[in-house]
Chains A and B, each alone.
Chain A
Amino acid sequence: MAYEEIVVKKPLPLIALPCLSVAAFLLFWEWIVVSGTVPSVLLAPPSQVFTVFMDKLGNPNPDGAILAVHAWTSLQEAFIGYSLSLLVGIPLGLAMGWFRIVEGLIRPIFELIRPIPPIAWIPLTVFWFGIGLTGKVFIIWIAGIVPCVINSYVGVRMTQPTLIQMARTYGATDWQIFHQLCIPSALPMVFGALQIALAYCWTNLVGAELLASDTGLGYLITMGGRLGRPDIVVLGMVCVGISGAILGFIIDCVERRLLAGIRR
């Protein structure tokens, strides 16, 4: 019985269809504005957004900074907040899943904090940290930590009980079972958390910037609104969308590499 590795080619429709749907979406969008179905004061067509994009690459007016500065500010805040939430949330969730003491101590506090929308922390963070980087990082951290803890916790809890029994009969210690069995079996859930936390962080970042900041993509959107420039608003939204999608894609690639055995 010989087993060989088989390479399966991706069928053409799977490559072609996403391109088609994006192209159709852009054409439709352009058409409804150009044809006058939606007045151009309310929505900018993609062609105009593209023009503004090219312009904003080098022009700080009318909102005070070029696009790269806005994007850089947002990415920085998101990256720090996101990393901190993974760093704290995942180990905490994993430990809560396996060690009863940790669960007993942390769970009640966590359950109380979880239902509070991260945006509700904004007034307090403005008192504590002002409108600089730290306050926004804090909001993003709060937003991202929730899915990290929950998914890691559930992931550990879902470890197949017979696997644990099997390890016990070989005399494995609690710690061995935790890091040799529970953590690997929680990994698919943890990677799910990376995606969800990213989405939470990114949306709450924009929320935080809408209220209190002086640069960033969220700020760009607010300024566009105040100045009555739908093209700038849409540009900000498109940038948030595209950069979020790229980050998601990167995480997806990493996941596929690491979880070869589980996902195949």
Chain B
Amino acid sequence: MGNNESHVKIRVNNLTKRFGDLTVLDKICFEIKTGELVAIVGPTGCGKTTFLNTLSKLMPATDGDILIDGEEASPRKHNISYVFQEPTCLPWRTVRENVAYGMEVKGIPKKERMERTDRIMELVGLSSCANLYPNQVSASMMQRIAVSRAFAVEPDLLLMDEPYGQLDVKLRYYLEDELISLWQKLKSTVLFVTHNIEEAVYVAERILVLSNKPTCVKAEITVDLERPRSFLDPQFMEIRHQVTELIRWW
């Protein structure tokens, strides 16, 4: 029990969120182990963004607990990173300064900040545009800046809200691979929200399927496939089909 317990990084108990009479999140319970990459899929409008906003403490939960390492989660105490759907670069900072921003807020000493920034930018191929401003790089670059900034603080929990939803398919495949390699190298704990089932099966170790409102965890599917994964692998297609059946509303 003790050994098993130490592996659990995030524990969410009965997380509930109500807006007046409308119950959006209804007693959500799940656990994420240290260094796990979990994807969350659900039908449109099931409250995925509300879910992330409550998890990240941007929004107070009506009821329930979010525990990180057994302690009540708090942005001041824990390292929580959040990659938003839309690009969130600070236009007055260069690419490099943007990547370092999260660490700056966290008060990480300058020397370490520089080293980590360099390392991450090397990993994601941002080094060549380190001194440009965000409006001089492409939209996909901006999203990579946000992802790098999020990984750079070595988060206890990294939340991603459809980070690649607005990019074209080819670029998305490329960035998904990049995300996986970052995650494997930095061993962060990632919660990846998407409406794209294929993307979820491709990146995640485990998929949580959400129900319609009031939202709860409807099913949990472990994706135990070798990496790099192939979209044409029969097992891959089987899991994708299984998830699709779970969230179909038509």
Would you give the shortest CB distance from A263 to chain B, in whole angstroms? 9
A135 CA / B128 CA spacing, docked (Å): 57
Task: Give A165 to B129 CA distance when docked, in angstroms.
Answer: 26
On whether the beta carbons of A163 and B106 are closer than 8 Å, the reply is no
B133 at the interface (CB under 8 A from A): yes
Query: Max chain A CB contacts within 10 Å: which of B86, B90, B132?
Result: B90
Let me know if A257 is at the binding interface, CB within 8 A: no
B92 contacts A163, CB within 8 Å?
no
Against B, the Cβ 8 Å flags (1 = close, 0 = not) of A146-171 are 00000000000000101101111111
Set of chain A residues within 8 Å of B106, measured between Cβ atoms: 170-171
Contact pattern, B 140-171, Cβ under 8 Å of A = 1, otherwise 0: 00000010000001000001000000000000
Contact between A261 and B92 (Cβ–Cβ < 8 Å)? yes
CB pair A259–B80 under 8 Å, yes or no, is: no
Interface mask (A1-43 → B, CB under 8 Å = 1, otherwise 0)? 1110000000000000000000000000000000000000000
Interface of B is mostly: loop
In the bound assembly, the distance between CA atoms of A264 and B105 in angstroms comes to 26
Judging by beta carbons under 8 Å apart, are A170 and B128 in contact?
no
B contact residues, range: 20 to 34
A239 within 8 A of B: no
Considering the complex, give the chain B residue whose CB is closest to the CB of A258.
B92
B137 touches A3 (CB 8 A): yes
Indicate whether B125 reaches chain A with its CB closer than 8 angstroms: yes
Please indicate the chain A residues that have their CB under 8 angstroms from the CB of B135 in the complex: 261-262, 264
B86→A172 contact, CB < 8 A:
no
**Least distance between B130 CB and chain A CB atoms (Å):** 9
Report yes or no: B94 in contact with A172, Cβ–Cβ below 8 A.
Answer: no
Q: Which residue of B lies closest to A160 (CB)?
A: B88
CB-CB nearest in chain A for B88: A166
Which range holds the interface residue count of chain A? 20 to 34
| A242 at interface, CB cutoff 8 A | no
List the A side residues contacting B133 at CB < 8 Å.
260-261, 264
* Contact across chains for B88 and A162 when beta carbons are under 8 A apart: yes
In the complex, A187 has a CB within 8 A of chain B: yes
Q: Which residues of A contact B91 (CB under 8 A)?
A: 185, 261-262
Is there an interface contact between B76 and A165, defined as CB atoms closer than 8 Å? Answer: no
A168 CB contacts on chain B under 8 angstroms: 58, 75
> A77: shortest Cβ distance to chain B, in Å?
34
Contact in complex: B92, A171 (CB < 8 Å): no
Q: Is the CB of A171 within 8 A of B76?
A: yes
Q: Which of B88-133 contact A (CB under 8 A)?
A: 88, 90-94, 101-102, 105-106, 125, 128-129, 132-133
**Beyond known contacts A168-B75, A176-B105, A264-B133: 13 more, CB 8 A cutoff:** A1-B125, A1-B128, A162-B86, A165-B82, A165-B88, A169-B75, A170-B81, A171-B74, A171-B77, A171-B105, A261-B92, A261-B134, A264-B135
A-B CB contact pairs (8 Å), 25 listed: A1-B129, A3-B128, A3-B129, A3-B132, A3-B136, A162-B86, A162-B88, A165-B82, A169-B56, A169-B57, A169-B82, A169-B159, A170-B101, A170-B153, A171-B75, A171-B80, A171-B105, A171-B106, A184-B90, A259-B92, A260-B133, A261-B91, A261-B92, A261-B135, A262-B92
